[in-house]
Amino acid sequence: LSRYDLLIIGGGINGLGIAADASARGLSVLLVEKDDFGGGTTSASSRLIHGGLRYLQYGEIGLVRESLRERGLLARQRPHLVRPIELLIPTFRGVPPPGWIIGIGLSLYDLLARDPLFARSRPFSMGEVLRREPGLTREDLRGGYLYGDGQISFPERLCVELMRETLAAGGEALNHTRVAALRKQNGRVTGADLRDELTGREWQVEAELTINAAGPWVDAVNRLLPAPPPRLIGGTWGTHLVLPPRPEGPRGPLYAAARKDRRPFFLLPWDGRLLVGTTDVPFEGDPDRLAVQEWEVEYLLSETNRLFPGCRYSVTDVQFTTIGIRPLPASAKTAGAITRRHFVVDHSRLHGSGGLASVVGGKLTTYRSLAEEAVDRALRILGRPPVPCPTRLMESSPAVHELEREAASLARRVGVPDEAAPRLARLYGRRAAEVLERIGDRPELGRPLAPSCPALLAEVAHAIEQERARTVEDILCRRLMLLPPPEGAAEAVHRVWPESGAG
Ligand SMILES: Cc1cc2nc3c(=O)[nH]c(=O)nc-3n(C[C@H](O)[C@H](O)[C@H](O)COP(=O)(O)OP(=O)(O)OC[C@H]3O[C@@H](n4cnc5c(N)ncnc54)[C@H](O)[C@@H]3O)c2cc1C
């Protein structure tokens, strides 16, 4: 029977953030994830690292300040994944909120941010708006505002980085491993029964403290206890569409109010495509049974076509959809008004069950500060002396163009065309060298995965040997970030990795 200081349930951004922080602070850690790292809510987000301009409307100044600070840290520590962007907010006659309110909100946002990496906001005349977005509807258009925020191209890759940081600091992280039961002794949670979902192997582990970081599944995990605590999560679900870019469509990121229900939604150029989202609907059921509704697709397509009438997107243009549940605290408020703040709930205070804490809420943007708070709390619960949090002080990374230059010079040395370098630098950061060095020993790994596919066979070997990918989908969708995988990619994985069978 293995024994750990901390058992973390859930390998999304929050669980992995906690695992990396806790192992760096000297705790023995096991993280388990029932599917793949980052495959839950984390991969269904709008992929923004943002201060949360909208939260100002609900007076959440503290949350905005925290999010803006985290945005700056992330963009400096992981610039290959997080980049500053400028979003346009077009304003329309008769559509609230009026331009002057947006202007006041943005001035406050600038004041709270004071970060030279991100552009300050500025008002735009109608002419300036149309020069930037010539395809935008002119109907009732008045002008707009431009403001700076951040975009994370692949939160899935951030999860992989945190998983590797956990392992490097002596922790353990297992994907495709489900907590099937929580073990309790003398009123304390003492560990869990685990099941490997791919091999069927079952075993038990003991932990001094279990942290339930299962996002929207937090209540389902707590229901594994003989006397479950009251419901903690009152999530809302959100859907995104991924569409092909069109010349008549948006040229840059856009944040607008939907005509139908006045809800804000984003149009975001992303990975050569257009990401459109999202809906925000209260969710009560089983998170594993969530499915995109027809009305959501129609709503998002019609709002996009209304803003950019030349696009004429239809259902057949949708390349794929994502859906996820915001793991918000249970609340009687309307979906948009529920706080986006996070809480770490110590169950010994909640219902007298020691040895267990649950993470409620949290955004992608604030995973690091959530992890800091959770580990500070864990040290107190475990009765250990405080240890300073290392992630706040993590050094800045070289800029992306430097990473690209390094990758290009190494690519040349191993006979790979320079064009592969920008992608490798953006996906792997400083670790692009680990991928390219494999090609030195096995030149055949320098070939692309499939015709006209940007990924190299070396990345498959790297995903399996260094990044704990265990299925073909893990490799293609959450390591190589081929969304959706191009034709022939799965077959190529089978050739590099015959043991994968049917995957
Ligand atoms: C539509 C939408 C848009 C969003 N946009 C943004 C955005 O732009 N910016 C931002 O900052 N935030 C955004 N968010 C919020 C953000 O995505 C989430 O708050 C965050 O990803 C939650 O991460 P998590 O680790 O808590 O949960 P998850 O990523 O869901 O991870 C929990 C994991 O627990 C695992 N699990 C469940 N049960 C078990 C079990 N029994 N055993 C083992 N593992 C288990 C699940 O498989 C899952 O992978 C958005 C959310 C949604 C839904």
Indicate the pLDDT class of residue 332, thresholds 50, 70 and 90: low
* Residue 335: predicted pLDDT: 64
What is the mean pLDDT of the segment spanning 81-93?
Answer: 96
Centre of ligand 1 to C-alpha 362, Å, is 9
* pLDDT tens sequence across 132-173: 999 999 999 999 999 999 999 999 999 999 999 999 999 999
Share of the chain above pLDDT 90, in %: 80
> What span, in angstroms and rounded, lies between the C-alpha atoms of 272 and 255?
18
Indicate the pLDDT class of residue 413, thresholds 50, 70 and 90: very high
Q: Which of 7, 30, 43, 45 to mutate to test the pocket of ligand 1 (most atoms within 8 A of CB)?
A: 45
Centre of ligand 1 to C-alpha 13, Å, is 7
Of 69-78, 116-125, 259-268, give the lowest mean pLDDT range: 259-268
Residues 6+ apart with CB under 8 A from 328: 233, 234, 235, 236, 338, 339, 340, 361
Strand pairing class (82-92; 188-196)? unpaired
31: nearest Cα among 161, 167, 147, 151: 167
For ligand 1, say whether the CB of 241 is within 6 Å of any of its atoms.
no
Share of the chain above pLDDT 70, in %: 97
- Highest mean pLDDT among 61-65, 214-218, 445-449 belongs to 214-218
**pLDDT reading at 247 higher than 90:** yes
DSSP 25-74: TT--EEEE-SS-TT-SGGGGS--EE---GGGGGGT-HHHHHHHHHHHHHH
What is the mean pLDDT of the segment spanning 230-243?
Answer: 93
**pLDDT reading at 273 higher than 60:** yes
Cis geometry, peptide bond prior to residue 484 (ω within 30 degrees of 0):
yes
Indicate the pLDDT class of residue 502, thresholds 50, 70 and 90: very low
For 169, the enclosing helix (H) or strand (E) is none
What is the mean pLDDT of the segment spanning 253-258?
Answer: 94
Which is higher by pLDDT, 501 or 89? 89
* Residue 484: predicted pLDDT: 87
Of 5-14, 205-214, 478-487, give the lowest mean pLDDT range: 478-487
> What span, in angstroms and rounded, lies between the C-alpha atoms of 128 and 144?
9
For ligand 1, say whether the CB of 34 is within 6 Å of any of its atoms.
yes
Summary mean pLDDT of the chain: 93
For ligand 1, say whether the CB of 150 is within 6 Å of any of its atoms.
no
For ligand 1, say whether the CB of 327 is within 6 Å of any of its atoms.
yes
* Rg (alpha carbons) of the chain, rounded to whole number: 23
Indicate the pLDDT class of residue 501, thresholds 50, 70 and 90: low
Q: Side chain identity at 159, as an amino acid letter?
A: C
For ligand 1, say whether the CB of 324 is within 6 Å of any of its atoms.
yes
For ligand 1, say whether the CB of 19 is within 6 Å of any of its atoms.
no
Atom of ligand 1 minimally distant from the CA of 322:
1
**pLDDT reading at 333 higher than 80:** no
Q: Which of 364, 370, 474 to mutate to test the pocket of ligand 1 (most atoms within 8 A of CB)?
A: 364
- Go through 232-244 and write b for each residue having 16 or more CB atoms within 10 A of its CB, e for each that does not: bbbbbbbbbbbbe
Name the closest-CA residue to atom 41, ligand 1. 179
* Residue 161: predicted pLDDT: 98
Residues 6+ apart with CB under 8 A from 347: 189, 229, 353, 354, 355, 356, 357, 358
For ligand 1, say whether the CB of 329 is within 6 Å of any of its atoms.
no
For ligand 1, say whether the CB of 364 is within 6 Å of any of its atoms.
yes
Name the closest-CA residue to atom 48, ligand 1. 40
Name the closest-CA residue to atom 15, ligand 1. 363
Burial label for 278, CB within 10 Å (0-12, 13-18, 19+), is buried
* pLDDT tens sequence across 293-309: 999 999 999 999 999 99
**pLDDT reading at 97 higher than 50:** yes
Indicate the pLDDT class of residue 330, thresholds 50, 70 and 90: confident
For ligand 1, say whether the CB of 438 is within 6 Å of any of its atoms.
no
**pLDDT reading at 503 higher than 60:** no
Indicate the pLDDT class of residue 259, thresholds 50, 70 and 90: confident
Three-state DSSP state, 416: coil
Atom of ligand 1 minimally distant from the CA of 36:
49
Indicate the pLDDT class of residue 336, thresholds 50, 70 and 90: low
| Residue 206 dihedral angles phi and psi, to the nearest 5° | -110, 145
**pLDDT reading at 460 higher than 60:** yes
For ligand 1, say whether the CB of 43 is within 6 Å of any of its atoms.
no
Indicate the pLDDT class of residue 12, thresholds 50, 70 and 90: very high
Cα atoms in the Cβ-side hemisphere of radius 13 Å centred on 212: 31
Centre of ligand 1 to C-alpha 465, Å, is 26
Sign of CA dihedral 245, 248, 252, 257: negative
